[in-house]
Amino acid sequence: MVDIPEAREVSEQTIEDIVHSSLPGWSLQTAHPAERGFSSVYRVVVCRDSTERELYLKSSPDGQTWGIPTEARIQAVLTAHTSIPVPEVLSVTDDHESHPTPYFLMRALSGSEVAYERVGRFDDDVLQRLAREIGAYLGELHAVPAVERFGHVRYDGPELACDRPGGDPATLSVRNPREDWPSYLRERVDEELGRHAESRFSDLTPELTRWFDAGIERLDGPFTPVLGRNDHGLHNLLVDPETGEVTAMLDWAYTLAVPAAFDFEFAVYLFSGAFLAGLPDVEDRRAMVRESMYAGYQTAAPEHVESVSTPEPVYEMLAMVRIMNDFQHLTLPQGTETAVAERIRTDARTLLNR
């Protein structure tokens, strides 16, 4: 596992300098750290001619890139070519002698941050709307003509210094590109199974290894790479929790080039809340979420809808394995951990025995 750094503090003077350099004519009013991931993120209010604007500054916690430059370019591409609600990027700086680079400034969007586990307790109509909108946005994402190989997405454009990124999909490419999807999938599966062997579910690891070997062998192409959201979950959204409207899709640093079905099935499992069904007041709503996501996807990308029309158990199981690997990070009511873990274990065995 990669060691995750602590977010470093950025001084108000540095933030003021960044605003002055990036947005001439605007002055800093306030800057407050935001608890979001491990990057150094600040909620910034700037002003010009009595007009205030709320922004976010996202910067490296330790001088490493952590996908931040790529995230800024991806958001620019999505702003230019889709209706996906991503924050507009106003300025990117890839390198600076004293500022905490890389960093970028982006507009703030409305909506509420909702706990990851809240998805299991949304009313049906709220979850259906959220799923339908997620499906439509994934359809738009998968239709962006940006990648031709499988792997982690990166940008190939020039470095920027206090400049707005362009929105050309041609500036995106893939790091260490793979031609063969099953081979690349095996790499990802092996990585997750390595983690799984150290988890509380490790008794399942040998059987999962054999099951994935057989399942990947049976996958039937052709496999076409698309931009994949990958990092699904309420933690990377802003929503209206009363209606299910998605007002922002955040954190694009770990975008992958994958088949559309892979991205779609991950989203179905994670937004269904099925991994919480061991709680007495949470239902397994995979079928409902998949139907709603499919309906949204069909409206946005009818030319691609056939590729996500049939559920693929290999992709669902990998999403389940990721939940098992990160089980300790779930926030569960006290005393329910064992019941939730056993439900996930039973769910996995159902797929193993299918």
User: Tens digit of pLDDT for each residue in 124-148?
Assistant: 999 999 999 999 999 999 999 999 9
Residue 3 has pLDDT above 70, yes or no: no
Judge whether 149 lies within some domain.
Answer: yes
Judge whether 28 lies within some domain.
Answer: yes
- Do 31 and 71 have their domain in common? yes
What is the predicted pLDDT for the residue at 1? 46
DSSP 321-342: HHHHHTGGG----TT-HHHHHH
Cα 251–58–61 angle (5° rounding)? 100
- Do 196 and 317 have their domain in common? yes
- Do 161 and 235 have their domain in common? yes
What is the predicted pLDDT for the residue at 5? 64
Residues contacting residue 104 through CB under 8 Å, at least 6 positions apart:
57, 58, 68, 69, 71, 72, 89, 90, 91, 92, 93
Q: How far is CA 21 from CA 27, 43, 351, in A?
A: 10, 17, 55
Nearest to 246 by CA among 260, 261, 236: 236
What is the predicted pLDDT for the residue at 243? 97
Residue in the block written with tokens 């926030």 = 331
Element (DSSP H or E) covering residue 175? strand 172-178
332-344 mean pLDDT: 96
What is the predicted pLDDT for the residue at 35? 75
What is the predicted pLDDT for the residue at 4? 62
Task: Read off the pLDDT band of 239 (50, 70, 90).
Answer: very high
| Residue 44, domain extent | 12-107
Weakest mean pLDDT among 5-9, 67-71, 188-192, 237-241: 5-9
Nearest to 102 by CA among 29, 40, 169: 40
- Do 59 and 123 have their domain in common? no
- Do 290 and 155 have their domain in common? yes
Judge whether 7 lies within some domain.
Answer: no
Task: Read off the pLDDT band of 6 (50, 70, 90).
Answer: low
- Do 186 and 286 have their domain in common? yes
159-183 mean pLDDT: 95
- Do 300 and 173 have their domain in common? yes
- Do 52 and 139 have their domain in common? no
- Do 226 and 177 have their domain in common? yes
Residue 354 has pLDDT above 90, yes or no: no
Percentage of the chain lying above the pLDDT 90 cut: 89
Q: Between 115 and 35, name the one with better pLDDT.
A: 115
Judge whether 54 lies within some domain.
Answer: yes
Number of domains present in the structure of the chain = 2
Judge whether 2 lies within some domain.
Answer: no
Single-letter code of the amino acid located at 209? T
What are 69-112's pLDDT values in tens digits?
999 999 999 999 999 999 999 999 999 999 989 999 999 999 99
Task: Read off the pLDDT band of 38 (50, 70, 90).
Answer: low
Work out the number of other CB atoms within 10 angstroms of the CB of residue 292.
24
- Do 218 and 93 have their domain in common? no
Q: What rounded mean pLDDT belongs to the chain?
A: 94
Weakest mean pLDDT among 37-46, 165-174, 214-223, 292-301: 37-46
Residue 37 has pLDDT above 80, yes or no: no
Element (DSSP H or E) covering residue 177? strand 172-178
Look up the pTM and report it: 0.94
Contact 57, 25 (CB under 8 A): no
Work out the number of other CB atoms within 10 angstroms of the CB of residue 256.
21
CATH of the domain at 88: 3.30.200.20
What is the predicted pLDDT for the residue at 293? 98
Judge whether 1 lies within some domain.
Answer: no
Burial class of 313 by CB neighbour count within 10 A (0 to 12, 13 to 18, 19+): middle
Residue 278 has pLDDT above 50, yes or no: yes
Q: Which residues pair with 106 in a beta bridge?
A: 56, 89
